[in-house]
Amino acid sequence: ADEPLVLGIETSCDETGVGIVRGHTLLADAVASSVDTHARFGGVVPEIASRAHLEAMVPTIERALKEAGVAASDLDGIAVTAGPGLAGALLVGVSAAKAYAYALGKPLYGVNHLASHICVDQLEHGALPEPTMALLVSGGHSSLLLAPDITADVRPLGSTIDDAAGEAFDKVARVLNLGFPGGPVIDRYAKQGDPDAIAFPRGLTGPRDAPYDFSFSGLKTAVARWIEAKRNAGEEVPVAHVAASFQEAVTDVLTRKAIRACRDEGVDHLMIGGGVAANSRLRAMAEERCAAAGITLRVPRPKLCTDNGAMVAALGAEMVARNRAASAWDLPADSSLP
Ligand code: KG4
Ligand code: ZN
């Protein structure tokens, strides 16, 4: 039997992503980003994102179909991010998916953005074991999720109580005047710095703290204060040391809690996804600590970690393969989907 051929649309934040997969095989991954337009505001501006999605939507769908070399009429379904995300941005993708699905006579599958960040790893490493433990770290979320069934049962074990991990990277980069988005720049500077140069706090790691929740706002403030003190004293800020020490604090907590969750739940596979999973130190540290704990680590290549349409298509294909019910034509774009 042929594996399902599915087109996926992602518009929850600032990337207009359209991907096409056949089962676990990636055929096309077209992304148009409005990140440069947002850069001068130091963050994503929702109204600008929605307008950019509207302009990029149809050309990106056409580019993906061309890249995959498939006809729209051959698709087995159209999947789309239904939430969570920016309301206006989601609405553009959901409306486009409905229009194409209805016009082509194909089933529509509304999917959860976080579940598709996990499912995308099937395009890299094949079928996900069940259950899978997932650490999702991006600009909008930092969560530990237990997924007994990626299409129907994904359970949140814990999440950040304040800033997301990527948000902390972006805010620290802003204090250091390194531009937006901050993650990739800090990652680069950190390579020249000493991760033990400055002892920054590890949030929520006390014995009485929630074992799977995260907090990065205190760390961000500690870094900002440290920099301010240097500047006030008229001393030069050692950017590389600050970047490396801050990055060490974030990745230390993320990997420690993820491995603890695996141990507690008896899961021997850890998947890491979301934009921060592109971080080189997080990948290296997770590899080292998972190996020591006897846990198999699965991290997709960086391009599949950041928002894209292929991850939506991957989850859509899994839903088709498992005969999950298609969504109704009144599928809502739900910005606060859990
Ligand atoms: O998943 P994503 O593309 O979009 C959201 O859903 O948020 O993640 C974007 C986030 C940004 O905060 C960005 O700074 C961060 O991922 N990021 C990184 C790296 N590359 C992207 N953070 C740390 N190190 C990186 N190499
Ligand atoms: Zn995301």
DSSP string, 233-293: TTPPP-HHHHHHHHHHHHHHHHHHHHHHHHHHHT--EEEEESGGGG-HHHHHHHHHHHHHH
- CATH number (3.30.1490.100, 3.40.50.720, 3.90.650.10, 3.30.420.40) of 132-300 reads 3.30.420.40
pLDDT of residue 171: 96
pLDDT of residue 4: 98
Alpha carbon of 253 to ligand 2 centroid (Å): 20
- Extract the runs of DSSP E, i.e. beta strands, from 34-71: none
pLDDT of residue 209: 92
**ipTM of this complex:** 0.98
pLDDT tens, the chain, 338 aa long: 589 999 999 999 989 999 999 999 999 999 998 788 887 887 788 888 899 999 999 999 999 999 999 999 999 999 999 999 999 999 999 999 999 999 999 999 999 999 999 999 999 999 999 999 999 999 988 999 999 999 999 999 999 999 999 999 999 999 999 988 899 999 999 999 999 999 999 999 999 999 999 999 999 999 999 999 999 999 999 999 999 999 999 999 999 999 999 999 999 999 999 999 999 999 999 999 999 999 999 999 999 999 999 999 999 999 999 999 999 999 999 999 98
Where is the binding site for Fe cation, in residues? 113, 117, 307
The residue contributing the CA closest to ligand 1 atom 13 is 183
Alpha carbon of 109 to ligand 2 centroid (Å): 18
> Domain limits of the chain?
5-120+308-321, 132-300
Q: What is the pLDDT of residues 229-281, one digit of tens each?
A: 999 999 999 999 999 999 999 999 999 999 999 999 999 999 999 999 999 99
Alpha carbon of 34 to ligand 2 centroid (Å): 15
Q: How many angstroms separate the CA atoms of 78 and 61, rounded?
A: 11
Pocket of ligand 1 (CB under 6 A): 13, 138-140, 166, 169-170, 181-184, 187, 274-276, 278-279, 306-307
pLDDT of residue 1: 55
Q: Check the CA dihedral 278-11-167-252 and report its sign.
A: negative
State which fold the 5-120+308-321 domain adopts.
Nucleotidyltransferase; domain 5 (3.30.420)
pLDDT of residue 138: 93
Among 138, 185, 250, 308, the mutation site with the greatest number of ligand 1 atoms within 8 A of its Cβ is: 138
Which residues, other chains included, contact 96 with Cβ-Cβ below 8 Å and sequence gap of 6+?
A: 9, 11, 57, 58, 61, 80
**What's this model's pTM, rounded to 2 decimal places?**
0.94
Among 306, 307, 311, the mutation site with the greatest number of ligand 1 atoms within 8 A of its Cβ is: 306
Residue 203 DSSP one-character state: T
Domains 5-120+308-321 and 132-300 share a fold: yes
Ligand located closest to 14 CA = 1
Alpha carbon of 267 to ligand 1 centroid (Å): 26
